[in-house]
């Protein structure tokens, strides 16, 4: 390990801090249930997939959510906003371990980030809704970082009733 | 909420099968009787797909009712279904969801079973240093893993806990054509699982699949894009004396008719940036949508190009584990496979159609627990249980409860 004030260590610390800010901004958008802003965290042709560790481990393509374009993300956001029927809830996201993969020199930041989401329904005790990790590829554009691929792989086998808001 | 002890045995409302008393969703004693009468009784239950265990020695664990079972491909290539319960003291023998084994050895006392469930080894059977051991007349052949009646039909594995169940084909009755239509002998390709823990009674979920009436009113996506709506030609009927449901309809795409005005959730302004989400690639020559419910545990799904078996696992009076097993065919093009994956967005725990159901059913279960003595009314389409050539009917629900009352002695 280089010493803490070595340029490589400093750059790595700065990148980790920048990523933490990016994930915080993403989770804040989800917590605000600001579905219209959610697609803006992705590049246009980014893959967004939410699937169980079971499917991921078996290399199976089906997820609970599959969006491979901005159009699909906008459609999902619009559907949740205008057509879906569900009781109100709040979700709170807690970032877990952040593992930064080595720089492949192609301008893509590869990270795996643990997460926990807690769901509060009216009348219920707070519930652990989802725990797992996201396997992310993040790129830098003119207006900041965006996901070019985000696979949310949850550790549990089943979803507690319904998965309404994206993870 | 504690269920008060009833002062007298449960009595069904005198109107009969046009009424559903809410205590059927909340009564724990009834629930246990349902397990014995249905899931663990003379019925056929979904266990898995043969393609989940392709090689001899492959196994996968699953549930019939509350009983853990294992499906395994034996050395001869046949799929066998075994109770996942050591014959010794009842420990589950298989602790993993899936895997590959040459035999099954219980962790507790290492009783060892063949892939067919025969007890083939037992450490210290003859004792140690001349002491202990099993009695001389202990016969391992009497102490294997219980093997269930099982059938693999066109790649789908079904099992029954009871020798009293009729043969599988006879049991399926009018639903058999819909099952054989999706599972027609073409090799299957597993595409993945979605699993959710619903917060409602298992019957409440099954009713939802016997209820085309709600689908054509609640599910905006179905109505707006013609995937399932009241003014499409359809046929709704029951099978097996009322226990199963059979639904056949057609996909006509987006259109408005004289009926549209009553379909309040038709999205006149709903357009999608990517219409492939609701557009099937034609694949069945008859141009139809066909599916239904095989009592007590399976839903046969064809929704756009998303094909699945949904497996219902009761988890107490107020919870149901629902496993969606998505599949395609081994000869599907890449385009079709991608379309199937896209259409899975409509269903399951995050489904743009199915979320509505999961949420409504949770609310209904909560209401049943607060009002167990109240009664539901199911008279849409009339009061009989005859087949209907339309979907504006609750005939399948009436047919189910007519069967249920007889089977449960209510």
Give the distance from residue B97's alpha carbon to the nearest chain A alpha carbon, in angstroms.
Answer: 9
Q: Contact at 8 Å (CB) between B237 and B388?
A: yes
Per-residue HEC secondary structure of B37-91 comes to HHHCCCCCEEEEEHHHCCCCCEEEEEEECCEEEEEEECCCCCEEEEECCCCCCCC
Number of residues assigned to chain A: 167
Q: How confident is the model at residue B309 (pLDDT cuts 50, 70, 90)?
A: very high
* Location of structure tokens 């020695």: B57
Burial A39-76 (b: 16+ CB within 10 A, else e): bebbbeebbbbbbbebbbeeebbbbbbbbbbbbbbbbb
Judged by a CB distance cut-off of 8 A, whether residue B313 touches chain A is no
What integer is the mean pLDDT of B333-354? 97
Question: What is the mean pLDDT of the segment spanning A50-73?
Answer: 98
What is the overall mean pLDDT for chain B?
94
Tell me what pLDDT residue B259 has. Answer: 74
Q: Which residues pair with B324 in a beta bridge?
A: B194, B310
User: How large is the average pLDDT for residues B114-131?
Assistant: 96
- Report percent pLDDT > 70 for chain A: 99
Q: What is the CATH number of domain A7-154?
A: 3.10.450.50
In chain A, what residues touch B358 (CB-CB under 8 Å)?
161-162
Distance of CA B125 to the CA centre of its chain: 42
Please report the pLDDT score of residue B262 as a whole number.
75
Among the listed ranges A163-167, B215-219, B265-269, which one has the minimum average pLDDT value?
A: B265-269
Residue B224: per-residue pLDDT: 78
Residue B270 has pLDDT above 80, yes or no: no
Please tell me the predicted confidence (pLDDT) of residue A87. 97
Structure confidence by residue, pLDDT tens digits, B22-35? 999 999 999 999 99
pLDDT of residue A146: 98
Residue B96 at interface with chain A, using a CB cutoff of 8 Å: no
Closest CA to B60 of B78, B45, B79, B41: B79
pLDDT reported for residue B228 = 74
Apex B35 CA angle, B173 and B248, nearest 5: 30
- Of the candidates A64, A67, A74, the beta carbon closest to that of B349 is on A64
Separation of alpha carbons B36 and B242, rounded Å:
19
Distance CA A127, CA A120 (A): 6
Between CA B58 and CA B405, with CA B47 as vertex, the angle to 5 degrees is 165
Average confidence (pLDDT) over B5-34: 92
Q: What average pLDDT score do residues B280-296 get?
A: 94
Using the Cβ of A52 and the Cβ atoms of chain B, whether some distance falls under 8 Å is answered with yes
DSSP structural state of residue B147: B
The pTM for the full model equals 0.95
B contacts of A83 (beta carbons < 8 Å) = 220-221, 265, 267, 270, 352
Reply yes or no on whether the pLDDT at B260 is more than 70.
yes
ipTM: 0.96
Question: Beta strands B320-329 and B104-105: pairing type?
Answer: unpaired
pLDDT band at residue B244 using 50, 70 and 90 as cut-offs: very high
Per-residue pLDDT tens for B45-79?
999 999 999 999 999 999 999 999 999 999 999 99
Q: Which of A71, A157, A158 sits opposite B273 (nearest CB)?
A: A71
Average pLDDT over residues B211-236: 83
Q: Does A81 touch chain B (CB under 8 A)?
A: no
Q: What is the pLDDT of residues A78-96, one digit of tens each?
A: 999 999 999 999 999 999 9
**Interchain contact, A83 vs B195, CB within 8 Å:** no
Among the partner residues B193, B198, B277, nearest to A54 by beta-carbon distance: B193
Number of Cβ pairs < 8 A linking chain A and chain B: 120
d(C-alpha B308, C-alpha B343), whole Å? 11
pLDDT at B6 over 70: no
pLDDT for the residue B254: 67
Spell B200-216 as b/e; 16+ CB within 10 A means b.
Answer: bbbbbbbbbbbbbbebb
Q: Which residue of B has its CA nearest to A75?
A: B272
pLDDT digits (tens, 9 = 90+) for B135-171: 999 999 999 999 999 999 999 999 999 999 999 999 9
Rg of chain A in Å (alpha carbons)? 17
The minimal CB distance from B194 to the residues A64, A69, A85 is found for A64
Q: How far apart are CA B145 and CA A11, in angstroms?
A: 60
- In angstroms, what CA-CA distances link A140 with A40, A97, A108, A148? 13, 22, 8, 10
Looking at chain A, which residue has its C-alpha nearest residue B337?
Answer: A61
| Domain layout of chain A by residue ranges | 7-154
Task: Looking at the complex, report in whole angstroms how far the Cα of residue A14 sits from the nearest Cα belonging to chain B.
Answer: 36
Q: Quote the distance between the C-alpha of residue B73 and its chain's center.
A: 22
CB B370 within 8 A of CB B1: yes
pLDDT confidence of B233, banded at 50, 70, 90?
confident
Alpha-carbon distance B329 to B376, whole Å?
41
Q: Taken in order B378, B381, B382, B386, is the CA torsion positive or negative?
A: negative
C-alpha B190, offset from chain centre: 17
Chain B residues inside the 8 Å CB shell of A61: 191-192, 337, 341
CA-to-CA distance for B19 and B13, rounded, in angstroms? 7
* Tokens standing for residue B350: 């995050």
Interchain CB distance below 8 Å, B274 and A75: yes
pLDDT confidence of residue B222: 80
- Residue-level pLDDT at B5: 67
Q: What is the pLDDT of residues A118-149, one digit of tens each?
A: 999 999 999 999 999 999 999 999 999 999 99
How close, in Å, is residue A76 to chain B by CA atoms? 8
Question: How distant, in Å, are the alpha carbons of A14, A27, A28, A98 from that of A21?
Answer: 11, 10, 10, 12
> Could you give the percent of chain B with pLDDT greater than 70?
97
At B301 the three-state DSSP class reads strand
């Amino acid at each position: 390990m280089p010493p803490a004030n070595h340029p490589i260590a400093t750059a790595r610390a700065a990148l980790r801090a920048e990523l933490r800010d990016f994930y915080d901004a993403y989770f804040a958008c989800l917590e605000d249930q600001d579905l219209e802003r959610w697609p803006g965290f992705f590049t246009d042709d980014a893959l967004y997939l939410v699937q169980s560790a079971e499917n991921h481990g078996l290399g199976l393509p089906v997820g609970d959510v599959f969006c491979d374009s901005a159009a699909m993300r906008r459609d999902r956001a619009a559907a949740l906003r205008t057509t879906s029927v569900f009781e109100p809830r709040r979700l709170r996201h807690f970032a877990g371990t952040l593992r930064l993969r080595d720089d492949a020199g192609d301008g893509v930041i590869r990270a795996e980030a643990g997460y926990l989401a807690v769901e509060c329904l009216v009348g219920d005790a707070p519930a652990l809704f989802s725990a797992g990790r996201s396997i992310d590829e993040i790129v830098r554009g003119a207006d900041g970082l965006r996901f070019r691929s985000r696979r949310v792989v949850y550790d549990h086998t089943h979803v507690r009733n319904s998965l309404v808001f994206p993870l | 909420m504690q269920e008060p002890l009833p002062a007298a045995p449960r009595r069904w409302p005198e109107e009969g099968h046009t009424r559903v008393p809410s205590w059927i969703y909340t009564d724990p004693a009834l629930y246990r009787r349902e397990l014995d009468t249905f899931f663990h009784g003379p019925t056929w239950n979904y266990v898995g797909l043969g393609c989940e265990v392709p090689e001899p020695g492959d196994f996968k664990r699953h549930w019939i009712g509350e009983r853990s079972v294992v499906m395994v491909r034996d050395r001869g290539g046949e799929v066998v279904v075994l109770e996942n319960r050591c014959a010794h003291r009842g420990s589950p023998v298989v602790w993993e969801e899936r895997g590959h084994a040459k035999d099954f050895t219980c962790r507790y006392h290492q009783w060892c079973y063949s892939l067919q469930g025969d007890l083939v080894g037992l450490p210290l059977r003859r004792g140690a240093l001349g002491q202990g051991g099993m009695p001389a007349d202990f016969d391992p052949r009497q102490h294997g893993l219980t093997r269930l009646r099982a059938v693999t039909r066109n790649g789908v594995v079904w099992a029954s806990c009871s020798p009293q169940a009729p043969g599988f084909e006879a049991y399926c009755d009018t639903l058999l054509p819909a099952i054989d239509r999706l599972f027609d002998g073409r090799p299957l390709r597993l595409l993945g699982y979605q699993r959710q823990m619903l917060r409602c009674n298992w019957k409440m979920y099954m009713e939802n699949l016997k209820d085309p009436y709600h689908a054509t009113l609640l599910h905006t996506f179905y109505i707006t894009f013609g995937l399932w709506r009241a003014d499409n030609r359809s046929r709704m009927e029951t099978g097996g004396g009322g226990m199963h449901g059979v639904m056949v309809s057609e996909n006509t795409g987006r259109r408005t008719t004289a009926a549209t005005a009553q379909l309040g959730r038709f999205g006149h302004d709903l357009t999608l940036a990517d219409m492939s989400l609701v557009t099937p690639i034609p694949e069945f020559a008859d141009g139809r949508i066909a599916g239904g419910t095989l009592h007590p545990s399976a839903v046969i799904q064809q929704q756009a190009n998303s094909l699945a078996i949904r497996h219902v696992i009761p988890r107490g009076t107020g919870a149901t584990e629902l496993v969606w097993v998505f599949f395609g065919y081994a000869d599907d093009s890449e385009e079709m496979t991608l379309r199937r994956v896209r259409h899975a967005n409509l269903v399951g725990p995050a489904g743009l159609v199915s979320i509505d159901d999961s949420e409504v059913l949770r609310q209904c279960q909560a209401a049943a627990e607060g009002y167990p003595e109240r009664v539901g009314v199911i008279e849409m389409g009339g009061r009989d249980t005859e087949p209907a050539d339309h979907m504006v009917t609750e005939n399948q629900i009436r047919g189910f409860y007519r069967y249920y009352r007889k089977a449960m002695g209510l």
